[in-house]
Amino acid sequence: MAITLTTAAAERVNSFLANRGKGLGVRLGVKTSGCSGMAYVMEFVDEANDDDVVYEDHGVKVIIDKKSLIYLEGTELDFGKEGLNEGFKFNNPNAKNECGCGESFTI
Partner 1 sequence: MALLQIAEPGETQAPHQHRLAAGIDLGTTNSLVAVVRSGEARTLGDNHAQHLLPSVVAYTDSGIIVGDEALQQQIVDPHNTIASIKRLMGRGSEDLRLLGDELPYRFAASDSVVPRIHTRRGNVTPVEVSAEILRVLQQRAEETLGGALSGVVVTVPAYFDDAQRQATKDAAGLAGLNVFRLLNEPTAAAIAYGLDKSADGIHAIYDLGGGTFDISILHLNKGVFEVMATGGDTALGGDDFDHLIAQWIITQAGISKPDAALQRQLLQTARAAKERLTQQQSTDISLDNIGWQGELDREGFNQLVDPLIRKTIIACRRALRDAGLTTDEIEDVVMVGGSTRVPRVRELVGEFFGREPLVDIDPDRVVAIGAAVQADILAGNKPDEEILLLDVTPLSLGIETMGGLVETIIPRNTTIPVARAQEFTTFKDGQSAMAVHVVQGERDLVADCRSLARFELRGIPPMVAGAARIRVTFQVDADGLLGVEAEELTQHVKASIEVKPSYGLSDNEITEMLRASMEHAEDDVKFRQLREQQVEAERVIEALTAALAKDGDQLLNDEERRLIEAALQQLRQNARGDDAAAIEDSIKLLEQSCDFYVERRMNSSIHDAMAGHNIHEFETPEK
Which positions lie near partner 1, rule CB under 8 A?
12-13, 16, 19-20, 26-27, 31, 33-35, 39-46, 80, 82-90, 98-99, 101-104
Q: How far is the CB of 24 from partner 1 (least distance, A)?
A: 10
Query: Residue 71 or 88: which CB sits closer to partner 1?
Result: 88
Rounded to 5°, angle at Cα 36 from 62 and 61:
0
Length of the chain: 107
Inter-residue contact 41 to 27 (CB < 8 Å):
yes
Q: How far is the CB of 84 from partner 1 (least distance, A)?
A: 4
Q: How far is the CB of 66 from partner 1 (least distance, A)?
A: 18
Kindly provide the b/e burial profile for residues 60-93, where b requires at least 16 CB atoms within 10 angstroms of the residue's own CB. bbbbbbeebbebbeebbbbbeeeeeeeebbbebe
Query: Residue 39 or 107: which CB sits closer to partner 1?
Result: 39
Query: Residue 31 or 66: which CB sits closer to partner 1?
Result: 31
